[in-house]
Amino acid sequence: MGIGKKLREECGVFGAFSFSSSVVSYIYYGLQALQHRGQESAGIAVYNGEKVNFIKGLGLVTEVFAKENLKALEGRLGIGHVRYSTAGSKGIVNAQPLVANFRREYMAIAHNGNLVNAEELRISLEEEGRIFQTTSDTEIILHLIAKNFHKGLIQAIKESMREIEGSYSLVIMTDRKLIGVRDFHGIRPLCIGKKEDTYFISSESCAFDVIGAELIRDVEPGEIVVIDENGLTSYKDEVSEKKMPCVFEYIYFARPDSIMEGRNVYFARLEMGKMLARESPLEADLVVPVPDSGVAAARGYSIESGIPIGDGLIKNKYIGRTFIAPDQKEREIGVKIKLNVLKELVKGKRVVLIDDSIVRGTTMKRLVSLLKDGGAKEVHVRISSPPVKYPCYFGIDTPSRKELIGAKMSVEEIRRAIGADSLYFLSIEGLKRSLGFNSICTGCFDGNYPLEKIKEQVYNYEV
């Protein structure tokens, strides 16, 4: 994770179905591997053949689960979730998986994404006399499936998918089945893995590596994948929506060792760095990455430009949730608690400072001044993505437009605001070339969202 307040992913999901053995430890390790997608709460629900047991709690996976309570979660079918919650909806009530008793059995669901018609759906369900016990979108999906369940499980999911709009990668557990569902544009990632006779569904493939499973393939946009005693079955209607995965997964969210849509994330970032060097060549002495978010792009920049890379900013690895001491001023301490400049390295040098993105600009401003105070002769900032100008409606926690520096200022204004000698953002074109494919959601950069109704909304969006 970066140092300042970055954009934040909201969730990671994981599910497992085994023909022979308990899956809880797979889910436990899988969620640990997905921990970067959410650190606020974690939960695991397992069906043991008789009933569903579940544990949810606030904190990291390693904090929520102890060896002993993992034993209480034995079973061949289970799902898990890690969550970062947006302000206002914090707390254990919204922790997932959401588990319901249903038809003498159960239904459990874990969700990564965000519905854009949640409000309308909720009102209409409440008009029908249904009650909601959380404020999460996920409960809406649960109700819709339950409501349509008499038509059969697959049909119920299909009809629910027709009603909900937005982004959703779901793992569902009901009727003794593990089900993976991805929205029609494939906005949030979801993939299938396998190890011997156990199937997995995960937000990212890095979770498969830790448990020794292999990545089979991504769940397709609009696909329903059902895993049960009959193995894996895929359901997909003849809808031809355009695949538009979130570009920020490649820029920042996903772990570098994950593969999404066939593309390794680390190499994509390396390529973004190279592209940046090509788009904006410089005379400079040292490439300095912002730890840890700028590391891969900085490496690419260095390779392409031939300018040596050096750890000019040193990270304090042990800082947890720190606070500003009563008699100190925020600006005095700033980022220095977390990062220190290596003066001996940067002194007198023309530095290229590389990061993945600029959101509010406050952290970048402090880093530039930290480097200059440390003796850097020039600080040139290079960002491996375009300026963030619009909010995300699909599961990323974007600050209000007033706080988005890219929405308020021109590049030159930003440069002055952060005190850099020069500033360059990677072009959308360059970004797409780095990925190797064009069909991608770049809404936060250019307002070009997968859903028409959102596009319209954005035209009326004032700073």
The stretch among 323-331, 355-363, 403-411, 412-420 that binds a copy of itself (CB under 8 A) is: 323-331
Tell me which of 230, 238, 306, 320 binds a copy of itself, using CB under 8 A.
Answer: 320
Alpha helices in 164-250 (DSSP H): 206-211, 248
| Cα(104)–Cα(86) distance, integer angstroms | 34
Q: How far is the CB of 449 from a copy of itself (least distance, A)?
A: 27
How far from the centroid of its chain's Cα atoms is residue 326's Cα?
A: 34
Query: Beta-carbon neighbour count of residue 409 at 10 Å?
Result: 16
Tell me which of 163, 209, 261, 397 binds a copy of itself, using CB under 8 A.
Answer: 209
Q: If binding is defined by CB under 8 A, does position 196 make contact with a copy of itself?
A: no
Count residues binding a copy of itself (CB under 8 A).
Answer: 89
Q: Are the beta carbons of 43 and 96 closer than 8 angstroms? A: yes
| Cα(39)–Cα(229) distance, integer angstroms | 33
Which of 139/223 has CB closer to a copy of itself? 139
Which of 22/167 has CB closer to a copy of itself? 22
Residue 117 CB-density burial (10 A; 0-12 exposed, 13-18 middle, 19+ buried): middle
Tell me which of 89, 155, 234, 322 binds a copy of itself, using CB under 8 A.
Answer: 322
| Cα(288)–Cα(307) distance, integer angstroms | 10
Q: Which of residues 344-363 bind a copy of itself (CB under 8 A)?
A: 344-345
Tell me which of 76, 255, 372, 389 binds a copy of itself, using CB under 8 A.
Answer: 255
Q: If binding is defined by CB under 8 A, does position 163 make contact with a copy of itself?
A: no
For the CA atoms of 126, 188, 177, 78, the dihedral, rounded to the nearest 10 degrees, stands at -100
- What distances in angstroms separate CA 148 from CA 155, 159, 236, 379, one per listed residue? 8, 7, 18, 59
Give yes or no: 11 in active site.
yes
Which of 80/221 has CB closer to a copy of itself? 80
Tell me which of 166, 310, 387, 430 binds a copy of itself, using CB under 8 A.
Answer: 310
Q: How far is the CB of 1 from a copy of itself (least distance, A)?
A: 7
Q: If binding is defined by CB under 8 A, does position 257 make contact with a copy of itself?
A: yes
Buried b (16+ CB within 10 A) or exposed e, 23-54: bbebbbbbbbbbbbbbbbbbbbbbbbeeebbb
**How would you classify the pairing of strands 350-355 and 286-289?**
parallel
Tell me which of 6, 8, 83, 122 binds a copy of itself, using CB under 8 A.
Answer: 122
Which of 89/233 has CB closer to a copy of itself? 89
Q: If binding is defined by CB under 8 A, does position 35 make contact with a copy of itself?
A: yes
The stretch among 129-137, 348-356, 389-397, 429-437 that binds a copy of itself (CB under 8 A) is: 129-137
Q: If binding is defined by CB under 8 A, does position 307 make contact with a copy of itself?
A: no
DSSP H or E run through 116? none
Query: Beta-carbon neighbour count of residue 454 at 10 Å?
Result: 20
Q: If binding is defined by CB under 8 A, does position 299 make contact with a copy of itself?
A: yes
Tell me which of 238, 327, 330, 462 binds a copy of itself, using CB under 8 A.
Answer: 327
Which of 133/233 has CB closer to a copy of itself? 133
Q: Is 120 left (phi over 0), alpha (psi -120 to 50) or beta?
A: alpha
* Residues belonging to the active site: 11
